[in-house]
């Protein structure tokens, strides 16, 4: 998929600045990590992201360590967010999406993004009740998806 998008260009410029600020080189491998996250709505483990990059860019020489280091840098800079799955590790997505929350299947790991204005307002009300000004939140709901429920019967 060819990217011709001003939003990606702005994201790439921000990434280049972060690399420069950390005395790191801009490489095509690092760019492909960002580009792959940008072009997919999927929540990737580092291993899944690595495999997607290898499949999409077979000519690219990239190592799994580069993917891990790039994801860590992107997360530390706030460009990427992650969901922790305990010993199974983290799944990553770009942080440039509009705010949303997640519901996650504890059996297969399926992640559904959702937005709910009532939930958002309730969180603001709760924060206010306890004397807080809400500046952000991360909500993850866990359960069993319909496919896994069918498999249990």
- Report the CATH number at residue 110: 3.30.1490.190
88 in the same domain as 112: no
For residue 22, the model assigns a pLDDT of 92
Q: Is 148 annotated as a binding residue?
A: yes
Q: Is 32 annotated as a binding residue?
A: no
Query: Which of the residue ranges 34-38, 43-47, 79-83, 149-153 would you say has the lowest mean pLDDT?
Result: 149-153
For residue 18, the model assigns a pLDDT of 94
**Reported confidence tier of residue 41, pLDDT bands at 50, 70, 90:** confident
The Cα–Cα gap between 6 and 21 comes to: 23
Q: Is 99 annotated as a binding residue?
A: yes
Q: Is 108 annotated as a binding residue?
A: yes
43 in the same domain as 14: yes
Task: State the total domains in the chain.
Answer: 2
Q: Is 100 annotated as a binding residue?
A: no
* Reported pTM: 0.75
102 in the same domain as 70: no
Boundaries of domain holding 136: 98-153
- The whole-number average pLDDT for the span 26-36 is 95
Last residue of a domain, one of 54, 74, 95: 95
For residue 6, the model assigns a pLDDT of 61
For residue 153, the model assigns a pLDDT of 60
72 in the same domain as 31: yes
């Amino acid at each position: 998929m060819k990217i011709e998008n001003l939003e990606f260009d702005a994201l790439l410029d921000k990434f280049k600045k972060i690399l420069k600020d950390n005395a790191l080189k801009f490489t095509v491998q690092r760019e492909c990590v960002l580009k792959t996250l940008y072009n997919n709505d999927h929540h990737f483990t580092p291993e899944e992201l690595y495999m997607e990059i290898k499949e999409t860019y077979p000519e690219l020489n990239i190592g799994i360590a580069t993917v891990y280091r790039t994801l860590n840098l992107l997360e530390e800079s706030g460009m990427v967010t992650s969901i922790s799955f305990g010993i199974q590790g983290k799944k990553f997505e770009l942080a440039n999406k509009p705010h949303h929350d997640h519901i996650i299947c504890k059996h297969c790991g399926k992640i559904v993004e959702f937005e709910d204005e009532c939930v958002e307002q309730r969180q603001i009300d709760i924060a206010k009740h306890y004397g807080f000004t809400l500046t952000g939140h991360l909500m993850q709901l866990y359960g069993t998806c319909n496919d896994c429920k069918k498999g249990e019967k």
